[in-house]
Every structure is written in C-alpha cells, then in structure tokens.
Amino acid sequence: SRTPVNVTVTGAAGQIGYALLFRIASGHLLGPDVPVKLNLLEIPQAVKAAEGTAMELIDSAFPLLAGIDIHDNPKDGFTGANVALLVGARPRTAGMERGDLLEANGGIFKPQGEAINAHAADDIKVLVVGNPANTNALIAAAHAPDVPKSRFTAMTRLDHNRALGQLALKTGAPVSDITNMTIWGNHSATQYPDVFHAKIGGKNAAEVVGDQAWIEKDFIPTVAKRGAAIIEARGFSSAASAANAALNHVNTWVNGTAEGDWTSMGVVSDGSYGVPEGLVSSFPVTTSNGEWTIVQGLDIDEFSRTRIDASVAELAEERDAVRQLGLI
Ligand code: NAX
C-alpha cells in the first residue's frame, strides 16, 4: 500500500477546518486511493477544540486516514509536510486598519514560512486560504528561501467556483459545461472574474450570455462581493464552500487540469499580462505533474485590462505595505 501523504492544516479548529478535515480524510484532497496523515496546527488556546475534531475523525473510521497529530507550534506542525493548507489567520476586527491587519498576519505567516523552509518535505506544496491570502502567501514564501516560490499559492478557487455558479444560474447550463473561467488579481472585492475567455458548451461565454450590462453590473460585483453576502445571510463567513474550493485547488494542482481547460490560482507572477514579477496574483493556469503554468497569449481588451490593473495595483500596495513593515 502507498505511503501516506503528510497534510498539515493550520486553523484546524476553525469553521473552515471543520468543513475541510473530514473531506481530506475521505479522499477528496488527493484522490480516493491516497492515504493521508493529518497534522493539525492550532494556537495553544484552540488545541482542545482541535482535539475534539480529532476525536470525531477517529470516530469516522476513514479507511484512508493513517493518523492524526495536533501541534501548537509551527516546527512540529510542518515537519515532513507534503501539503500544507494555511487556513488559520488573524481576522480583521472592528477599528483595525489595513496596516494592523497585515502586521498581525505577518506575525503568523513569517514563522510559518520559516518552519516550512526548515522542516517540510522537499516536495511541499502550500495553499494559503487565510486572508489576506495573496499577501500572506507572499510573506510565507519570502521566509522560505530554499523552497521554490512556485510552491506557495493563494486560494482564488472559491471565487472561480462562485463565477461558475453564477454563470450556470444565468444561462441554465450545467456547471460541468462551463470551462476556461478565470479570476484575475487579488482575492478581494477588486478581483476580476473574466467571462470573455470562458466557454459554455464550447462557445464564448460572454456571447452565450449576450448581456454586457449583466456582466458588468450584476455578475462581476456578485462574484466579487459574494463573501460579504454569505456573512449577511448566514451570520458566518463561507466555510463549506471555502473548504470545497481548497480541496479543488490542491486536487487540480496535484492531479492536473483537463485537456483544453484551465483553473484559477494565486501564483507568483513572472511578469505575464503586465502583472509585476513577484506579486502573488490570480491567473489562468494549467497544471500537470504537480506543476502549474500560467496560460499565455490571451487577448486582453480594454474592459478587462482596466479591471486587472486595478486589482494588481491593490496587490502592489499590499506588498509595499508589508515591505515597509519589514515583513518581506
Ligand atoms: P475561524 O476564525 O473559524 O478559524 C480560524 C482558526 O485559525 C481558529 O481556530 C484560530 O485559532 C486559528 N489560528 C489563528 N492563528 C493561528 C496560527 N498562528 N496558527 C494556527 N492556527 C491559527 O476562521 P475560518 O472561517 O475558518 O476562516 C479562516 C480564514 O480563511 C480567514 O482568514 C478567512 O478570512 C479566510 N477565508 C478565505 C477565503 C478565500 O477564498 N481565500 C474564503 C473563506 C474565508 O473567508
């Protein structure tokens, strides 16, 4: 039988953690034939809650679950990790300025990057879910100089899936017919969900929709502000859909995109599409053999250019702010 893959989940006692761990243990992260060993990393105050979740994981008797350990420090949490899902982060609380938020998260993602650098397995793949996800990924990567930058990614798959959901609702097409969706830029309200390169049943999605006003005034803001709408309706932020997107992100990264299709991932820019090199920005990417590649050669019209530039400008501001704080 196969050697278990070591999966580290931070923020394991949180609401995304609770929605995520049972599905990892049942094979939805890496596949139905890949055993996993879970390492849960929490802050000391939440270790007891993580122990409760671990009890329930044991009680689920998942055939693929090869073991669970709980840790309260990054060194132990990341030792031997093949996949790390960085979910735990410091949320923005009332009265907190952006600088305070970035600084508080620097205090989490800097030591985690260092621990990944020193203790993770050579094939480590990191997905940052905790917000501000793109910039947290940038900080972690900056403190892991021995790990290729390509191994640090940020989650925009939830935004991608939200865009698929809205297009399916609008057109009546099943989500399985919608391909080549792209989220560009930051995982924030400035993100740009791009239907102009997407396809529905193989046809250009914008043409199938045939309603520019809907794309501009309804679709784009609905996708970009969906997180706030979920909080408003549910009283809590997205959890099951966020966990599902994290599983999708890693599964696609490891197992590859379908022929002709692509996905959206926050990855370190090589300067493609005018996104300054080094920023962690969402792009259309294909994946194969555990490596991602930014899709090249897409035509970007004026409408898309303006929106991509606005989101990328926000990423550059966040990078400048964390640089000034000495976090990168
Ligand atoms: P919760 O507040 O329910 O859970 C967060 C957990 O992280 C807590 O148990 C906390 O103890 C733990 N934690 C805090 N600091 C830690 C550290 N240094 N090491 C280990 N664990 C630590 O939040 P939840 O709803 O689970 O959301 C987690 C993060 O995901 C938030 O930052 C949230 O903003 C972000 N999201 C990102 C999304 C994305 O698409 N990229 C969408 C969903 C979600 O909003």
Name the domain boundary from 98, 120, 154: 154
In whole numbers, what is the pLDDT of the chain averaged over residues? 97
- 50 CA closest ligand 1 atom index: 9
Helix axes 133-142, 98-119, angle to 10 degrees: 40
Name the domain boundary from 102, 126, 154: 154
What does the block give as tokens for 269? 């820019």
Q: What is the pLDDT of residues 77-135, one digit of tens each?
A: 999 999 999 999 998 888 888 889 999 999 999 999 999 999 999 999 999 999 999 99
The number of folded domains in the chain is 2
Catalytic choice (160, 187, 197, 249): 187
> Nearest-CA neighbor of 128 among 22, 237, 280?
280
Q: Look at ligand 1, atom 31, and give the residue with the nearest C-alpha.
A: 130
Q: Which run of H or E residues covers position 128?
A: strand 125-128
Residue 137 CA: distances (Å) to CA of 54, 80, 82, 279, 289: 27, 20, 17, 10, 22
Residue 275 CA: distances (Å) to CA of 32, 267, 271, 302, 313: 37, 11, 5, 15, 9
pLDDT at 1: 67
Q: What is the pLDDT of residues 201-241, one digit of tens each?
A: 999 999 999 999 999 999 999 999 999 999 999 999 999 99
Q: Which range marks the domain in which residue 256 is found?
A: 157-318
In a domain, 150, yes or no: yes
Between CA 279 and CA 271 the distance in angstroms is 9
Please, are residues 267 and 150 in contact by the beta-carbon 8 Å criterion? yes
In a domain, 327, yes or no: no
Q: How confident is the model at residue 162 (pLDDT cuts 50, 70, 90)?
A: very high
Active site residue 249: no
